[in-house]
Each structure stands twice: as structure tokens, then as C-alpha cells.
Amino acid sequence: MKSIQRITAMVALLVMMAAARPVHAQVAGGWSNAPVRDPGVVAAARFAVEEHGRQEPVTLKKIVRARQQVVAGTNYEVTLLVKRGKGSRKAVAVVWHKTDDTYNLTSWKWAGGK
């Protein structure tokens, strides 16, 4: 009888230890890092620059950082280095790639203090 209690206690301890381990898997609806060369990231970055380019001339120079969030489609948050006028600036854009394969620029913010 004591051996069954010991086994039960050991199993309970192992279950608690496993539950306490940090999990690095993507949480539904949470943001996760994405490779800057991922085709979805590249498409979102190009769309963001094209869409913002309707307000002022900008050209994509480099994708600096990218994150993605799975929702009804995928949100991409891309940090971009863009040519603006005679110089370059960083911008952070959020693009929603919808399930119908269309895109929507949901935000564009200039990074830094310029």
C-alpha cells in the first residue's frame, strides 16, 4: 500500500514539475518572432510601404524585425528601414493579411525621435 502511495506522490510531483516548466510555443492570438525573409513578412512589408507611399514617397530599404500574430488571418508587425526624402528612417507597420488573401495596413508609426 505504501508503494502505491509513493508512486502516486512521485507521479503527482512529476506532473507539477512539467506544468511549471516555461512553454515557448506560440499562444493563440499572441505575437511571435518571424524571420524577416519569410514570404508572408516580405509581402506584408512591401504592401505597407506601397500603401503608406500613397501619403508620402517612401522606398523599402530593409526589413529590420518582424513579428506575427495568428488571428482571422495573420497580423504582421514589421520594423522597416525606408528611404524618405534624402535620408532613411525606421517605421513600424502593422499589416493584416486577411483570410480572403487581401491586405490592410492597420498602423504606420515612425520609430525614433525625428
- 4, part of any domain: no
Is 75 within the bounds of a domain?
yes
d(CA 46, CA 50): 6
Domain membership of residue 45 as a residue range? 26-110
Residue 10 lies in a domain: no
Task: Enter the C-alpha cell of residue 48.
Answer: 505597407
Counted domains in the chain: 1
The DSSP letter of residue 26 is P
**Residue 17 — pLDDT band, cuts 50, 70, 90?**
low
Q: Is the pLDDT of residue 94 over 50?
A: yes
d(CA 62, CA 72): 27
CATH number for the domain that contains residue 105:
3.10.450.10
> Is 82 domain-assigned?
yes
For residue 64, give the 3-state DSSP assignment.
Answer: strand
Residue 95 lies in a domain: yes
* pLDDT tens sequence across 18-56: 555 444 445 567 999 999 999 999 999 999 999 999 999
Q: pLDDT of 69-86, one tens digit each?
A: 999 999 999 999 999 999
**pLDDT greater than 90 at residue 104:** yes
The answer to whether residue 17 is domain-embedded is no
72 belongs to a structural domain: yes
Q: Note whether residue 55 is domain-resident.
A: yes
DSSP tally for the chain: helices H, then strands E? 2, 5
DSSP letter, residue 30: -
